[in-house]
Structure 1
């Protein structure tokens, strides 16, 4: 790009060279990874760089995190030494470096025109963790498999997953871990979900998990250890280097290629081909822009959810006005809409999310941010208020499950976390980087500071009388050591009275949507009437029915266990139809 030296571009999200914007590997243009840069690009100004640029050169996409920075287990267990979190589990992580452009697809009922046709036994849409498992299972059994992937490389979310759950693996046997109760594990998960999830699906995943990990070992997948992660039972099988990009993806990709899987990258699936109520193929747009119909006995969709599509996310009564997508590229609603158009039943009323609260414009958690994720779990003495200056939750609630962090804020038009100077001193812990971030937040207006409660209310745009009443009521509970409204434990009740006072405007960082389409026990998509759609399978995150609105994360590595199990089970059932 003329006159634009990307090596000098520092991300204004944190003004730190180690978090400078990265280049889109396909176009070579600077990728807008933070809201402020995108806004400045629109205005045609750049306050932190002398480089001139054309606004059209900035790729207008939701903010994302550079692939090497995403680590979802770190996202979940970010409290670290504060010991506020219990058993946290990985879900999946980063993305291939390249991103394809396609916008969200509209659900289409009429057949698309095609430029050509091809035939195979099984076509798989998506080459992430579940797609690769399905591809290996099917191809090694002799099926002719085509796997289409909208990104430029295989791996998807699996690249950032640190490991996988299992009971009964060879690794556990070698360490003498042989007395785990599968029933107790399943019961714990079902109870945490208030019995609103699919019990038989948990039975299948847990009881198949040991054999699934042994199968991965037989295919060269490399692990460092089996441990308890943040839980109590040694069920977490940790990939080499703590990354699926190292331990899982290259080995499973090689196994699939060795078995003859035909991978088509930069290829977007647009429509399921339906014949007499059965899935008989998929229409894709290939790398060259041609529309190709791939005919197959079965279609397995492994596309990883729709978290990038905030219109979809907002259907769960989540206020996305100030939210930012921080997940992997290519996770819009294209696949979901394609499946709905094919007659599949919507599961989005039960979608669970991997989200965290953050102060917009400050460094993210993976960039050493003090006010992303941590602010939602590591300041239980703070006061959380909505746009009406009302408390709405006991502020230490996320100790039970960090993925509850954003849930009480979903209906709010605006959420602020309040701390007085004494609270903030505890939270900052003397860290200079945190002080620098705080000052940046104050400068941006996302963090407010005032010497009186009334002045803080005015700065935050809430009613001063209401805020004063809320603070007075809260302080009375602190004095009584009894939170009569929300039951916050006395050890976290800290008087709000040491000026100056701070208000942190927090909004959701959205990473993953878990559960999109309803499926049967074989991972066939089902219709609104509950009938299985023959030949159409939905696996991995897209077809997960193990979580309902809340990602309960009691089984360490459970989501990845579902990825592998669903991919294999769907492939086996598809093979039975050949």
Structure 2
């Protein structure tokens, strides 16, 4: 909206759009730099918080920025990140814990996690993940950050979706939003707007166009519909690494907004089959945050629907979906409150998982050729007996046969945890146009415009959101403000 003569309904120095991790960090940083801050979010209080609220909520323990920069370059795998961004990312992610503690938030080592990409140069920087109270998930990080926002008296307007950036002469002046009662709000941002609206994983059309997934199921917030990305594009923004994402094998459940991550934590008696009934991968491939080493290179995985088949021994071994006590992550668990049954029987009873007395019967349910399915399972079971998977190199210690009736299966679309691409930004979190020029007054942080062009290790997304959220808020606060 190009109109410098707008009649404003509300004014603030800095307007932050999005009340997740990056938005909270931006709001606190802007306020502490002396700015009047207004936060907008389209969700209600019981649903706000973005991906941060339902994530692992940890950041990596970066004690060596120089090695962190090396690792980030290695992880980009031929998709280089601008060097100034790399340097600032490396330095600022190393300050996350200190900044959290400066807010009075207790932090500690949550998981002594090894690197997910140990063969890459710089991976030695990975020592573990830091979390609030030394814990992972369970909404702890967002609760702490949102408390910090409210403790400062920062105004937060929920159920107030932003739709468009108001511009004048190429500068972002404010935001057009809708109040809870449906009236339009023209909100002036005297110093800048920070987009912290999350990704586009809950926008099926954008997911099809950019990520090439035809039947996406979200794992995180259903609010990640690409709002900030569209607003930025209309204001002239360029885009970066739009094809990058994180997916997981998982299950769609009727009546639930988000899917379930099927990790099979207690058993190895399962296989992944293509829709033709044939195995197509190593089911226990080492999976980083969205990438696995396949055929000599790191590739996005999984990217296609699959049938997941397991046997009675696997059903009895424990829940195929990690429970909240083990992994307090995901929208279905933390927000929708679903607790997976201990022996998977409830989900079988609901029809989420198919049951069949024979593989031939299971093939009919899955609409695959029975002979193909029988041959596939026979070959896999033979590999288990031999202790060697000559098809896909599944580690011998993970080879467990499918031999105990009845058999079970479900058809899994990849669960889309989050997208990574969005408006291109520089090391100052300033959004850029297609010619590399800064769009004055516009900043971005978090999954709306994450740093990562390809691979990313555990705790990287939260680290990025905290670091560039602080940068965005601080830069916006000082733009046009008192010296």
Tell me the TM-score normalised to structure 2 length.
0.77
- Give ranges in structure 2 of 5+ residues lacking alignment: 116-125, 293-298, 324-339
Pairing 1:247–2:144 present: yes
Pairing 1:218–2:218 present: no
Aligned pair in 2 of structure 1 residues 166, 471: CA closer, same or farther (>3 Å)? Answer: closer
**Which one of the candidate residues 276, 281, 290 is aligned to 1:388?**
276
**Counterpart of 1:569?**
471
**Counterpart of 2:113?**
230
> In 1, are the aligned partners of 2:160 and 2:180 still within 8 Å (CA)?
yes
- Matches of 1:286 and 1:507 in 2, distance apart? 36
- Give ranges in structure 1 of 5+ residues lacking alignment: 1-108, 168-179, 366-370
- Residue 301 of structure 1: how far off its partner (Å): 0.8
**Counterpart of 1:448?**
355
- Residue 110 of structure 1: how far off its partner (Å): 7.8
- Residue 532 of structure 1: how far off its partner (Å): 2.6
Q: Please say which structure displays the higher CA radius of gyration.
A: 1
Asked which structure has the greater RCO (Cα within 8 Å, sep 6+), the reply is 2
The superposition leaves residues 153-190 of structure 1 with CA deviations (integer Å, 9 ceiling, x where unpaired) of: 474444456443454xxxxxxxxxxxx43333443444
- Find the residue that maps to 2:242 and give its secondary structure: helix
The superposition leaves residues 408-458 of structure 1 with CA deviations (integer Å, 9 ceiling, x where unpaired) of: 44333xx211224455555679x9x8576336425626323132x333211
The superposition leaves residues 188-244 of structure 1 with CA deviations (integer Å, 9 ceiling, x where unpaired) of: 444344253525434323312344432332232x21423544348655332138412
Give the number of equivalent residue pairs. Answer: 436
**Counterpart of 2:437?**
531
> In 2, are the aligned partners of 1:355 and 1:512 still within 8 Å (CA)?
no
- Matches of 1:490 and 1:517 in 2, distance apart? 44
Aligned pair in 2 of structure 1 residues 419, 191: CA closer, same or farther (>3 Å)? Answer: same
Aligned pair in 2 of structure 1 residues 460, 276: CA closer, same or farther (>3 Å)? Answer: same
**Counterpart of 1:131?**
23
- Matches of 1:329 and 1:196 in 2, distance apart? 29
> In 2, are the aligned partners of 1:306 and 1:512 still within 8 Å (CA)?
yes
After alignment, is 535-544 or 288-297 more displaced? 288-297
**Counterpart of 2:88?**
204
**Which one of the candidate residues 181, 186, 189 is aligned to 1:288?**
181
After alignment, is 209-218 or 154-163 more displaced? 154-163
- Matches of 1:380 and 1:203 in 2, distance apart? 42
Tell me the TM-score normalised to structure 1 length.
0.66
**Counterpart of 2:197?**
303
The superposition leaves residues 46-88 of structure 1 with CA deviations (integer Å, 9 ceiling, x where unpaired) of: xxxxxxxxxxxxxxxxxxxxxxxxxxxxxxxxxxxxxxxxxxx
The superposition leaves residues 362-410 of structure 1 with CA deviations (integer Å, 9 ceiling, x where unpaired) of: 9999xxxxx942445654442211111121111111x443645995443
CA-based RMSD: 3.6
Pairing 1:546–2:437 present: no
**Counterpart of 1:419?**
310
**Which one of the candidate residues 195, 202, 206 is aligned to 1:312?**
206
- Hey, which of these two has a bigger chunk of strand by percent? 2
- Matches of 1:445 and 1:226 in 2, distance apart? 37
> In 2, are the aligned partners of 1:358 and 1:375 still within 8 Å (CA)?
no
> In 1, are the aligned partners of 2:21 and 2:466 still within 8 Å (CA)?
yes
- Matches of 1:130 and 1:203 in 2, distance apart? 19
